[in-house]
């Protein structure tokens, strides 16, 4: 989301190095959106390795000052087609492997949106349909029109709302959960700051991370990895970074194996009701 061309002179922040480090480390999905303003950059970074990438993008959210929320959702069938064509041009590709509706619309029925996306699948312009920032009812209604491959939502130790309705619905329908912001936009990295006051949940995170010799952020990603078997669905953590060194650290988190008691302590400490 924050990937940008940089003139900082820091090779660790070079976007080509960041993306290619991810691919070299075995990451296959690269995720962007028309809203992020970096589709052209992402397209350039993967141009020589397009077949190595599951390329994901999103459409529908337009920033505006006229709406109290700061954005509008354009999810009508015509905009689906127009947005896809524009993203294909910016990405420099003839297909988007996973195409998401970025946010639910209050005015356009999701059946219309997904119906138009299904046409794009049949035309070969997108490979699969995804949804983001939707309700469980939206997911079920959309899936009845065309199979939904992935649901992208915020899921982390610090943000568990998705577990109430969306995770059970995704498990029921066989939809993969792509968990963006598994460190809650860096909040869980901050739990490792020994100079900062710590409450019980931060102490637990620090203790278990220290036991494994990893960072708090890596442990938070490992916790998200652990949710799949527990809830009966595929879970893909989607951490964002602008540094190649952080990419390596994020990838290394998949090797962390948490024991049952460690998972119980982490989950209980960070429970919304704790």
> How far apart, in whole angstroms, are the C-alpha atoms of residue 167 and residue 69?
26
For 11-186+224-256, CATH gives 3.20.20.100
Q: In the 3-class helix/strand/coil scheme, how is 21-73 assigned residue by residue?
A: HHHHCCCCEEECCHHHCCHHHHHHHHHHHHHHCEEEEEECEEECCCCCCCEEE
CB 252 within 8 A of CB 218: yes
- Please give the average per-residue pLDDT across 12-40, as a whole number: 97
37-93 residue pLDDT tens? 999 999 999 999 999 999 999 999 999 888 878 899 999 999 999 999 999 999 999
167-177 residue pLDDT tens? 999 999 999 99
Q: What percent of the chain has pLDDT over 70?
A: 96
In sequence order, what are the beta bridge partners of 56? Answer: 31, 98
pLDDT(146) > 80: yes
Q: What's residue 12's pLDDT?
A: 96
Q: What's residue 192's pLDDT?
A: 56
Structure tokens that stand for 42 in this block: 């992402």
Residues marked as catalytic? 36
Computed over every residue of the chain, the mean pLDDT equals 94
pLDDT(195) > 60: no
Q: What's residue 197's pLDDT?
A: 57
pLDDT(7) > 80: no
Q: In the 3-class helix/strand/coil scheme, how is the chain assigned residue by residue?
A: CCCCCCCCCCHHHCHHHHHHHHHHCCCCEEECCHHHCCHHHHHHHHHHHHHHCEEEEEECEEECCCCCCCEEECCCHHHHHHHHHHHHHHHCCCCECEEEECCCCCCCCHHHHHHHHHHHHHCCCECCEEEECCCHHHHHHHHHHCCCCEEEEECECCECHHHCCHHHHHHHHCCEEEEECCCCCCHHHHCCCCCCCCCHHHHHHHHHHHHHCCCHHHHHHHHHHHHHHHHCCCEEEECCCCCHHHHHHHHHHHHCCCCHHHHHHHHHHCCCCC
90-112 residue pLDDT tens? 999 999 999 999 999 999 999 99
Q: Which residue has the higher pLDDT, 192 or 173?
A: 173
pLDDT(199) > 90: no
Domain range list for the chain: 11-186+224-256
> How far apart, in whole angstroms, are the C-alpha atoms of residue 18 and residue 11?
9
φ and ψ of 158, to 5 deg: -90, -10
For residue 8, name the pLDDT band (cuts at 50, 70, 90): confident
């Amino acid at each position: 989301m924050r990937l940008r061309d940089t003139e900082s002179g820091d090779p660790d922040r070079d976007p080509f190095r960041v993306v290619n480090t991810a691919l070299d480390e075995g990451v296959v999905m690269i995720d962007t959106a028309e809203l992020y303003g970096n589709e052209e950059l992402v397209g350039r970074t993967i141009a020589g390795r397009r077949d190595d990438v599951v390329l994901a993008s999103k459409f529908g959210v337009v920033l505006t000052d006229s709406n109290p929320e700061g954005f509008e959702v354009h999810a009508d069938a015509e905009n689906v087609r127009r947005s896809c064509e524009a993203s294909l041009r910016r990405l420099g590709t003839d297909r988007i492997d996973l195409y998401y509706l970025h946010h639910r619309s209050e005015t356009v029925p999701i059946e219309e949106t997904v119906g138009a996306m299904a046409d794009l699948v049949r035309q070969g312009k997108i490979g699969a349909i995804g949804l983001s920032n939707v309700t469980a009812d939206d997911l079920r209604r959309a899936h009845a029109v065309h199979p939904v491959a992935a649901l992208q939502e915020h899921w982390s130790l610090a943000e568990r709302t998705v577990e109430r309705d969306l995770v059970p619905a995704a498990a029921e329908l066989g939809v993969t959960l792509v968990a963006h912001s598994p460190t809650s936009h860096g909040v869980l990295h901050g739990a490792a700051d020994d100079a900062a006051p710590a409450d019980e949940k931060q102490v637990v995170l620090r203790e278990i991370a220290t036991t494994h010799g990893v960072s708090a952020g890596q442990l938070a990603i490992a916790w998200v990895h652990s949710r799949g078997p527990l809830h009966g669905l595929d879970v893909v953590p989607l951490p964002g970074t602008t540094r190649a060194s952080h990419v390596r650290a994020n990838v290394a988190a998949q090797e962390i194996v948490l024991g049952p008691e460690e998972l119980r302590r982490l989950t209980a400490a960070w429970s919304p009701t704790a």
